[in-house]
Structure formats: structure tokens, C-alpha cells
Amino acid sequence: MPFEMDVVTIFPEFFKGPLQESLLKRAQTRGLLKVRVHNLRDYTHDRHKTVDDKPFGGGPGMVMKPDPIFECIEKIRDTGWVVLLDARGERFSQQTAERFARKKHLVLICGHYEGVDYRVHEHLADEQISIGDYVTMGGEAPALCVIEAVSRLIPGVLGNKESLEEESFKIGLEYPQYTRPREYRGWKVPEILASGNHAEVRKWRTRMSREMTRKKRPDL
């Protein structure tokens, strides 16, 4: 059975290109992944297909209405784990991606405008996720990040199992990588990497990974 993902958005065209490229396309073609994109406007009942309205109590901007979201999710949810992409949510991490990969079915709601009616938070979404401490135009780009991060954890999607076994954020930042030419504009590849001594190369990579993590991401 493929891993299933449903995406709820007011901009379904946003996902057409990315889902038909590289490993995401291959995973779907091979039956490892199934991604369905749902246009939230299809679940409205007025001639303007309205998905937002002014906030109660006043304030700037518009808020996404609860009724189209509830109707959409109730139709497609089945046993899926419902995730609302929201700047106020818990920060997405590699550990979150691994947990999501065990769910077998994700439903991603892309927020927009000034936010989503809070009843969606309280009574519909299983959790809220943010991809960082900044605000994007909407939840579409964050949803795509989640799709990418989770999809690569599905067995068979990555051709090289070592890529998963050496996940950067499990052991810290990844060590520096080099390829040909061995010298470029006077900058040389570290001698140890061309030595052929695999044991010493592993030690060097471990040391460099720790140093880079300590300097650039001490929080890890």
C-alpha cells in the first residue's frame, strides 16, 4: 500500500510542478506514494466560492472560514492524521518527519490570509506545525517541505539506504563534501579524502561534523 497524503489548499496549481519532478514523481510512479491535492473552493456553497471572511472583533486582514475546511476534511480524512500548517504551531524537525512517516496517511491543511478560524485548531486538526520562526505567504510552501521530508523516509524512495542511516540532523550538521576537480582556483580538497584510508576518512568526517555543529548550530 502506498503512503497517502492529502493536501487541502486554495492554490492547487502550486503543487503541480513539484509533485511531477525528481524523486516525488518517481515515488508516485512506482506506487510508493500517493498525493491528492484538494481545492478548498470546491467545498464552498456560494457563487463566489468564498473561503475567508472578516474576523469577529475587528482587525486587519481576513480569516479562513471553518465550514469549507471541516466539510473537506470530513470527506477525505478516513484515518489520516490531520496537520494544520500554521506559523504558531510546533516547529517541524527531522524527528517530526520520522513520526509522520509512521502514520501512513497525512492530511495537510494549508493556512492562508491572517490565519484559520480557531475552531479548526480546537476541533479538527490533530496538531499544528510551523517550519520555522518566520511567516510565509501561506501554508503551501511549508506543506511542500513536509511532503519532501516525509517522502524520503518512505522505504524504497531513496535509492541509497546510507543516505538515511547518516541523516544530518540525527548526528549533527553534515561534514563538508567535495568532488572533482581536486583543485579549483587554488582551493584544494583535503588530502585525507583522497588518501584511500576509509577509517581515517570516517574519523575526519565525524570530527568536522561536530565542529560545524558546534559553530553553526549549537542548539543541536
Residue 192 lies in a domain: yes
Which CATH number do you get for residue 147? Answer: 3.40.1280.10
Contact 53, 62 (CB under 8 A): yes
Residue 157 lies in a domain: no
Residues 72 and 103 in one domain: yes
What is the number of structural domains in the chain? 2
Over residues 89-147, the pLDDT tens digits come to: 999 999 999 999 999 999 999 998 889 999 999 999 999 999 999 889 999 999 999 99
Contact 3, 31 (CB under 8 A): no
- DSSP-assigned beta bridge partners for residue 37: 7
Residues 202 and 106 in one domain: no
pLDDT of residue 168: 47
Residue 158 lies in a domain: no
pLDDT of residue 160: 64
Which CATH number do you get for residue 183? Answer: 1.10.1270.20
Residues 193 and 93 in one domain: no
Residues 7 and 114 in one domain: yes
Residues 174 and 147 in one domain: no
Over residues 10-38, the pLDDT tens digits come to: 999 999 999 999 999 999 999 999 999 99
Over residues 159-194, the pLDDT tens digits come to: 765 455 555 445 467 789 999 999 999 999 999 999
Over residues 195-217, the pLDDT tens digits come to: 999 999 999 999 998 998 888 88
**Number of residues that this document lists for the chain:** 220
Residue 189 lies in a domain: yes
pLDDT of residue 159: 76
The parent domain of residue 81 ranges over: 3-151
